[in-house]
Amino acid sequence: MEPSDKYLLKHKGCYFVQEAITPEYIDSLENFEIRDSDIFLITFPKSGTIWTQNILSLILHEGHRNGTEDMDLLDRVPWLEYNVRNIDYVNRPSPRLFATHLPYYLAPKGLKMKRGKVIYVIRNPKDVLVSYYHFSKVSVKLEEVEDFEIIMERFLAGKVVGNLWLDHVEGWSSQRDNLNILFLMYEEMKKNLRSSVLKICNFLGRKLTEEELDDVVDKASFDKMSADSRTNYSTTPPDVLDFSKGCFLRKGTIGDWKNMMTVAQSERFDSVFKERMEKLPFKFCWDISDEL
Ligand code: A3P
């Protein structure tokens, strides 16, 4: 079953959320002017974007950390390709923070010329798939498909937002020498958040005190984020997210795919992904008890 173009827009070989974007805007992003001070968080959907958006915001905005500012995460770290809040990106003060799911080939030229900094978060693709399946129910802007097998086949064929996971990860990782880029694994964040936050601070050249660091780690925990309306999307209107169908911060763990995928589905997944995944320069973690 092909994805419905009521929900997905295919432009330049890439799938986007139909309602939130236009082909003209996608085209304009190639020439989106990048500042050296820009920080881009780049992910395949469902890889820990909101989590890292929150961490970046906590590191860079003291007011967020100490609770003196009440601002939604989407205003602090907006989506480059889905400017749903109509923010004036051009006149936004530095350092600008952006999140994006763009594949490398559609990224702004400036980024490819080593302007700005990129943080790329990767998650094991079986958990990404399962998270995407559940999120498709919550998101009114995505097609709700009850049959997991159908979503899995679309995922394996790259017919989901972000396209083929393998292409996305390969696209960005193969360009690592031509970018200012830090790769982080969702699983390492889950297992040792403090060291991941420190990695981000070092990469951005930000020095936090021990106390500030503790605060970032605390406010970026799954429980704290789930309970905070600035970080759990709960203020999103019901015509965008339907919370009667589930939460944005759903389980937040490693290995939930085992609760969803049958052995046959897992083997089918491996038969399509394994060979190319083995060539990637990352060590994947498939279960919460696995060593990194
Ligand atoms: P699950 O659906 O597996 O729970 P994105 O923001 O890229 O859409 O990713 C969403 C996924 O990240 C969800 O995964 C969500 O629960 C998880 N996530 C968000 N915040 C998290 C946190 N603080 N700790 C662990 N996982 C988190």
**Closest residue (by CA) to atom 15 of ligand 1?**
249
Asked if the structure places residue 58 within a domain, the reply is yes
Specify if 286 maps to a domain. no
Average pLDDT, the chain: 96
pLDDT at residue number 5: 85
The values of phi and psi at residue 79, to 5°, are: -80, 130
Residue 287 in domain: no
Question: DSSP labels for 161-215?
Answer: TTS-HHHHHHHHHTTGGGS-EEEEEHHHHHH-HHHHHHHHHHHHT----HHHHHH
Q: Which residues of the chain have pLDDT under 70?
A: none
Domain that holds residue 251: 8-277
Q: Whose CA is nearest to atom 5 of ligand 1?
A: 46
Yes or no: say if 239 and 140 are a contact pair by the CB < 8 Å rule.
yes
C-alpha 141 to ligand 1 mean position (Å): 18
pLDDT at residue 4, as a whole number: 85
Query: Rg of the chain over CA atoms, in angstroms?
Result: 18
Q: Looking at the 3D structure of the chain, how many domains does it have? A: 1
What share of the chain in percent tops pLDDT 90? 91
Q: Are 214 and 193 in contact (CB under 8 A)?
A: no
Å from CA of 29 to ligand 1 middle: 27
Atom of ligand 1 nearest to the CA of 53: 6
Tell me if residue 90 falls in helix, strand or coil.
Answer: coil
How far, in Å, from the CA of 142 to the mean position of ligand 1?
17
Q: Which residues line ligand 1 (CB under 6 A)?
A: 43, 45-51, 127, 131, 134, 190, 220-222, 225, 249-252, 256
Q: Is 282 inside any structural domain?
A: no
Q: Separation of 250 CA from ligand 1 center, angstroms?
A: 7
Q: Which residues are catalytic?
A: 101
Query: Which CATH number do you get for residue 243?
Result: 3.40.50.300
Residue nearest atom 20 in ligand 1 by C-alpha distance = 51
Measured by CA distance, the residue closest to atom 10 of ligand 1 is 46
In-domain check, residue 290: no
pLDDT in tens, 210-227: 999 999 999 999 999 999
Residue at 284 is within a domain: no
Specify if 120 maps to a domain.
Answer: yes
> What is the separation, in whole angstroms, between the first and last Cα of the chain?
37
- CA 193, CA 195: separation in Å to the nearest integer? 6
- Report yes or no on 227 lying in a domain: yes
From 169, 231, 220, 176, select the one nearest 198 (Cα to Cα).
Answer: 220
Atom number of ligand 1 nearest to Cα 225: 23
Q: What is the pLDDT of residues 31-45, one digit of tens each?
A: 999 999 999 999 999
